[in-house]
Structure 1
Amino acid sequence: MGRRGKKKGRPISGWLVLDKPWDFGSTEAVSKIKWLFKAEKAGHAGTLDPLASGMLPIALGDATKTVPYIMDGRKVYEFTVAWGEQRNTDDLEGEVVASSGDRPDRTAIEALLPRYTGVIEQIPPAFSAVKIAGERAYDMARDGEVVDIPAREVEIHRITLLGCPDADHAVFEVECGKGTYVRALARDFGRDLGCYGHISALRRTMVAPFSEDAMVPLTDLVALEEIEDDAERLAKLDEYLVPPGEALGMLPRINVSEDQAHRIRMGNPIILRGRDAPVATDDACAFVRGQLLSIGEVADGEFRPRRVFKG
């Protein structure tokens, strides 16, 4: 058997809360961050379209094990709808497929919003990453195929009309759950108001548990390339990383001793004692000396590790 190749990159671990620039793909952004940090591995939590800007949490190293928990977090978007045209992509990139000279007033827009609050049925855009019989919807749409995506439930926690800068545009803020397509909201608003509409600007300002003030502009990171000394440059970059454990505030936390930590590192369960110990849960995280050690389940008075972090 051949020897495994040595991993390239540094074994760093943490989250970078990137402020992704407009006209820059999510995959492109992850590659850029992985290269800047010289990281072994990287991944992101929640794709942003190239024409969207804002928060793109990027996990480096062991933090990639926490990606599913960030994917499930609430998200906040600020977006502008341009009235009068429906486009096949539901944003500025697409071709116009329907148009109208009608424009909604503020009263009509605000009256519509309660229908889009709570758990709603939403049909994702034809140009989306949703899989149909194993194929991505956007690949089928680009090939000229008719894309029939079934409606699915998404949750809208709140939606607010921020303003109407002119008759052709309205600006909104929405807080929503996993799987919500803001482009589909713009499309459906336009249809319901009888004037058509598409996204003309989109910015994500929150992916729970990360807040807007945690975002780091890509230009700040790129500027550090001017530092010639590798060690100094990488140390400056690492200051922007958020420890993996800080992304798991939604999970019950268990503090363990060094002896217990050793058992967990070996993949063994530990017995939980004390009245503050979780009774039973599918997901909990164990910490040792303030550092994330493991994610696992609690059952029958035990913590059973499922994912262990190097620390």
Structure 2
Amino acid sequence: MSENKQKRQKRDLSGWLVFSKPYDMSSTEAVGKLRWLYGAKKAGHAGTLDPLATGILPIAFGEATKTVPHVQDGTKVYQFDIAWGAQTTTDDMEGEVMETSEHRPDRSSLEAVLPRFTGTITQVPPAFSAIRIGGERAYDLARAGEKLDMPPREVEIDGIDILSHGPDRTRLSVTCAKGTYVRALARDIALALGTRGHVGALHRAQVGRFSDENAISLAEIETVEGAARDALLLPVAAGLFDLPEIRVDDRQAATIRLGNPVLLAGRDAPVSLDEAWASCRGQAVALGMVEHGQFKPRRVILSSA
């Protein structure tokens, strides 16, 4: 009994887990399960993934939670099926069928319409979404039977590719920015083709630099323990992709971790940066900015040593 209690003792653990979320598990459940498996004091995720969706759910432990906003802002890649012929209340397979159509688009018609859904486009989010309306979640209001007037929003879509096409289902890959609703995209593509459709399957293949290539399944995590399980984690710095890195020495790192700015020396030292992160010996020290040649910390990241 004492050994079991010792295994479950909460510990200071920091790093990123590129988790491959299975079907029918909510993002909240995933965080709870992984926090328990790792015995971590603190954990969170970078971007909700629907229970019926699979794929990349970045899990942050400890100090990595301070880098969550940056990971959430990373480019996303989704692979999804449009199930042709029916529009549902939720724009996925969970909802009730609202309208049907016998029309099935051919591949050339689909290829012709997809450019209309790239670049900056306007979407009306699904009624069953987490958007707040009057302080309440839209999905709570929708479940209560309220008719919702969902506010349109602009989103950025870099590109859409056809992976496979058939009479009943088409599989697409979309590269997009934060805030894009794939369910709304499937619905609107179908409407543009003169038919109806909903998401029949959804997989998130990438969030920033976290992708299927370095994703870890629940089975893989559960089959190892101790140091081998910890070795599956990426460092806190892995969540700071695409931000300028400012390398500092031990003395400067100690100053920054006290919340104080440091002067950056050297011919190539930046004078001004809106966003940057400081590192020392490969470890993240702080998120911050560079102003007048000084690195100024906004969020200090404690040493994992």
Q: Distance in 2 between matches of 1:89 and 1:45?
A: 23
**Would you say the 8 A contact 1:73–1:178 is kept in 2?**
yes
* Alpha-carbon shift at residue 265 of structure 1 (Å): 1.5
Say how many residue pairs are matched: 295
Instruction: Provide the secondary structure at the position in 2 that maps to 1:126.
Output: coil
3-state DSSP class of the match of 1:66?
Answer: helix
In the TM superposition, 1:181-192 aligns within 5 A as 181-192=181-192
| Pair 1:249 & 2:249 matched | no
Partner of residue 211, structure 2: 211
Q: Once the 2 structures are TM-superposed, how far is the Cα of residue 222 of structure 1 from its aligned partner? A: 2.0
Corresponding residue of 1:79? 80
Query: 1:257-291 deviations in whole A, cap 9, x for unaligned?
Result: 11111211111110111222222122111111111
Q: Which residue of 2 aligns with 1:5?
A: none
The letter of the residue matching 1:62 is: E
User: What is the match of residue 147 of structure 2?
Assistant: 146
Matched position secondary structure for 1:259: helix
Q: Find out whether 1:90 has 2:82 as its counterpart.
A: no
2:176 corresponding residue in structure 1 = 176
In structure 2, the partner of 1:159 is 160
Partner letter of residue 285 of structure 2? L
Distance 1:189 1:132 in 2: 26
Q: Which residue of 2 aligns with 1:10?
A: 11
Q: Secondary structure at the match of 2:210?
A: coil
Deviation string, structure 1 residues 147-204 (Cα, Å, up to 9, x no partner): 111111100001011111x311111000000000100011111111111000001101
Q: SS of the residue aligned with 1:216?
A: coil
Aligned partner of 2:256 in structure 1 is 264
CA–CA separation in structure 2 for the residues paired with 1:174 and 1:68: 22
5 Å matches for 1:195-210? 195-210=195-210
Maintained 8 Å contact 2:271/2:291: yes
1:287 to 267, 275, 279: 279
Whichever residue aligns with residue 238 of structure 1, its letter is D
Alignment of 1:58-137 (within 5 A): 58-137=59-138
Contact 2:83 2:170 in 1 (8 A): yes
Listed one character per residue, the Cα deviations across residues 116-137 of structure 1 (whole Å, up to 9, x for unaligned) are 0101111111000011111110
CA shift digits 1:26-79 (9 cap, x unpaired): 110010000000001101011110110000000000000000000000010110
For 1:258, give the aligned amino acid: D
1:209 CA drift (Å): 1.7
2:223 match: secondary structure: helix
After alignment, is 24-33 or 249-258 more displaced? 249-258
Give 4+ residue runs of structure 1 displaced > 4 Å after superposition: none
The AA in structure 2 aligned to 1:244 is V
> Residue 34 of structure 2 aligns to which amino acid in structure 1?
I
Segment of structure 1 superposing worse, 277-286 or 212-221: 277-286
State the alpha-carbon separation in 2 of the partners of residues 222 and 262 from structure 1.
37
Q: Is the 8 A contact 1:252 1:278 kept in 2?
A: no
**Gaps (5+ residues) in structure 2?**
1-8
SS, match of residue 59 in structure 2: strand
Specify the alignment match of 1:237 in structure 2.
229
Aligned CA-pair RMSD:
1.0
Residue of structure 1 in register with 2:295 after alignment: 303
Aligned partners of 1:242 and 1:211: how far apart in 2? 13
Aligned amino acid, residue 170 of structure 2: A
